Every structure is written in structure tokens, then in C-alpha cells.
Structure 1
Amino acid sequence: MNAAKRLEIFTRLRDDNPHPVTELEYSSPFELLVAVTLSAQATDVGVNKATRKLFPVANTPEAILALGVDGLKSYIKTIGLYNSKAENIIKACRMLIELHGSEVPETREALEALPGVGRKTANVVLNTAFGQAVMAVDTHIFRVSNRTGIAPGKTVLDVEKKLMRFIPKEFLLDAHHWLILHGRYVCIARKPRCMSCLIEDLCDYRDKTDST
């Protein structure tokens, strides 16, 4: 994979979807933080079903803290790992109130200091809520980066660093969304839909399928 191919890949992805957005539903940086925290090992569809009931009732650190762990669990119990997620979100709400004036911080370090927030979650919030050109690598992006040859790497951090280095700057802000959507709907895990792929002729994957 060379620079010219990468440029063409992201040009096509941008032309096909000029203004990509996350499929998580949110209306504030705090709602996004909660939604992304809940999305670990869960689907965006499942998270959205839960937050559609939760956010009208509680969508601030104070309101969710007032629910308590058990109260929060009642809204998110359909989501995997909901017990630990509820505990982490309650702890994070307390820290946001005490340390950040109830506002979501805009630095990776401060975000990662919150319970339940790792590098990927922090990067999603920084990119989507605050418009920072960072790369949140999930399972879809890891797979697409390795399979296509855009940014092969053995670890998530390795792939993240290569994507930040290889993706042309003009595409960096939206690249996270293009890659995750591509992995979710086209370059799927078991049988990629190569015949429906916008970048099939540019991809380095050797075992291309006739699936559409």
C-alpha cells in the first residue's frame, strides 16, 4: 500500500459519504461519553435503545449520579457488562462534578483518568464531540486497516499510530467514521462484501470474495 493508493481510498470514501457521523445517538459531549462507555462489547443499536430511555430522564453527571448504581442499571441492563459499566459511569460522574465542573474534559489524559474510559473511548469523544483529529481504533478499524493494507499492525496502538501517520491530513478528522462504517457494513469479518466495495481495486487483500 502506497501513499497514492491511500489518497485515492479516502477520496472515494469521502465522495461516497462527505459528512460521516457516529451511529450512536447523543446531543452533548456527556451523552456521547456515556454512550461510548456503554458501547464496549455491545452494538450501537443496543446502546441507542437503552439511552433513548435513559437520557430523557438523566443526561447530566448530577442526574445520573442521583440515579445511583442500581437506578442506572435498570436502564442499561440489556447491555453486556452492565454491572461494571454502571459502577464506572457513576464513579465517572462523581469525578466530572468534583474535578471538571460537570464538563467533559477535552484532553486524552483527563478522559482516560475517568473510570471505564480507555484510549479508544477517549479518542472517540475527542474526535466526535470536540473535533480533534485523532483515531479511535476498534475491532472494525483494526480489521480494515490490516486486511486492506492501509495500516497493518499487530496491536491496536500500532495500527492507530500508523493510521495517524499514513492518512492524508485532509481526511484525518473523518477517517475514524469512514473506516468503522466500512468495516461494519462492507469489509465485514467473516465474508467481506468485495463486489460491493468502493475500494476493491485498491485493496491489498488477497482472498477477495464474490460476495455483494
Structure 2
Amino acid sequence: MNNQKRKEILTRLRDDNPEPTTELNFSNPFELLVAVTLSAQATDVSVNKATDKLFPVANTPQAIYDLGVDGLKQYIKTIGLYNSKAENVIKACRMLLDLHGGEVPESREALEALPGVGRKTANVVLNTAFGWPTIAVDTHIFRVSNRTKFAMGKNVDLVEQKLLKVVPAEFKVDVHHWLILLGRYICVARKPKCNACIIEDLCEFKEKTS
């Protein structure tokens, strides 16, 4: 795909959704960090159902740490892998209290040092909480990038590198959200809804559905 076509795709996505954001519910960087950590191999809907009950009770590192692992599990037990996630969140809260004054650090290295936080989670927090031009590649973005031929790569790291290279600066802060939403609702895994897609004529996927 050439850069002119890429820019047209991004322009259409921006025109359709000028101020995109995550579908996870949060009101501060710490809530976002917890929500993204819980969202691994789980839907945003399931995470929101849990955090909508958790955050009114505890939404700071100290408050969640005070719940303890077993206390936190009671709020997130409807989410997949909740046992290990509860342990990671409690450990992360302890580190935030001990090393960062109870604040979420605006640093990739510091974020990735937290239990349960990998590159993708760090990218989401840096992008959505702090406005960094990072691109977190999940299964939706990986699929859309390869299927449309917008930014092809054999794994998520290669797709991220390609996206960072080919996406113009003016679109970088928001492209993560546009591609996730496109993959979640239109360019779905089994049968993409090509006839409902605003970039169908620009997409280079050969087996389009009618």
C-alpha cells in the first residue's frame, strides 16, 4: 500500500471519529492502568462491569492494595485469569506506592517494570492517559493492518514498527483507537463487514464480502 492511500484511509477514519478514545471506563491514569491490565484476554465490556463496582470503592494504589489479593478477587472474579491478575495488580500497587509516590509514571521503562504490564499495556497508558504517539497493537489492529495491507508484519512487534514508520505524525495519537474500533465492529475476524466499511474502496483485501 502506498502512503497516499494510507493518508486517505486515516483522513476518512478521522473525519468519521475526530476524538476517539478507549471503550474502557476510567477517570484517571491509575484506573486506566488497572483496566488495561485486567483486559488481557478479556473483553472491555467484562472489564467495565467489574471496574464499575471496584472503582467507586477503591481507585487509588493504596485503596486497592488495602483490599488485598482476596478482596480484589471478589470484584474481578468474572474476568478471565482473575487470580493472576489480582496478584499482579496488588504487586503493581505496592510498587507504585514504594517507587512512584502512588502515581502512575509517565515512563515506558517504569510502566513495563510493573507486574502484569507489558509493552502493549504501557503503550495504551502512555497514549490514552498521557497523549504519547504510541501505537498498541492488539489482535484487532494486527488483523486490520495485515488484512487491509496498511502495515503488514508477521507479529505484533513488526506491525507496531511498520505503523510507527508509515503513519504520519498528525494521526499517530489516534490511529490506535481507530484501528481497534474498525477491527472490533467492522473488520471482524471471521467475516468482515466490507459493505459497511468507510474504507472499503481503499482497502487491499482481495476477498471482500458483499
Q: TM-score, normalised by structure 1?
A: 0.99
Q: Which runs of 5+ in 2 are unaligned?
A: none
1:206 alignment counterpart? 206
The count of aligned residue pairs is 210
User: Residues 126-157 of structure 1, C-alpha deviation per residue, up to 9 Å, x if partnerless?
Assistant: 00000000000000000000000110000100
Residue 82 of structure 1 deviates from its aligned partner by 0.1
2:127 alignment counterpart? 127
2:181 alignment counterpart? 181
Residue 195 of structure 1 deviates from its aligned partner by 0.3
Distance in 1 of aligned mates of 2:186 and 2:79? 25
2:31 alignment counterpart? 31
- Aligned partner letter, 2:129: A
State whether structure 2 residue 133 is matched by structure 1 residue 136. no
* Counterpart secondary structure, 1:35: helix
Residue 177 of structure 1 deviates from its aligned partner by 0.3
1:8 alignment counterpart? 8
1:19 alignment counterpart? 19
Q: Which runs of 5+ in 1 are unaligned?
A: none
1:161 alignment counterpart? 161
User: Residues 4-55 of structure 1, C-alpha deviation per residue, up to 9 Å, x if partnerless?
Assistant: 0000000000000000011000000000000000000000000000000000
Distance in 2 of aligned mates of 1:171 and 1:57? 37
1:108-123 equivalences under 5 Å are: 108-123=108-123
Distance in 1 of aligned mates of 2:103 and 2:195? 45
CA RMSD between the two structures: 0.4
Residue 184 of structure 1 deviates from its aligned partner by 0.2
2:107 alignment counterpart? 107
The runs of at least 4 aligned residues of structure 1 exceeding 4 Å deviation read: none
1:69 alignment counterpart? 69
* Counterpart secondary structure, 1:117: coil
State whether structure 2 residue 199 is matched by structure 1 residue 196. no
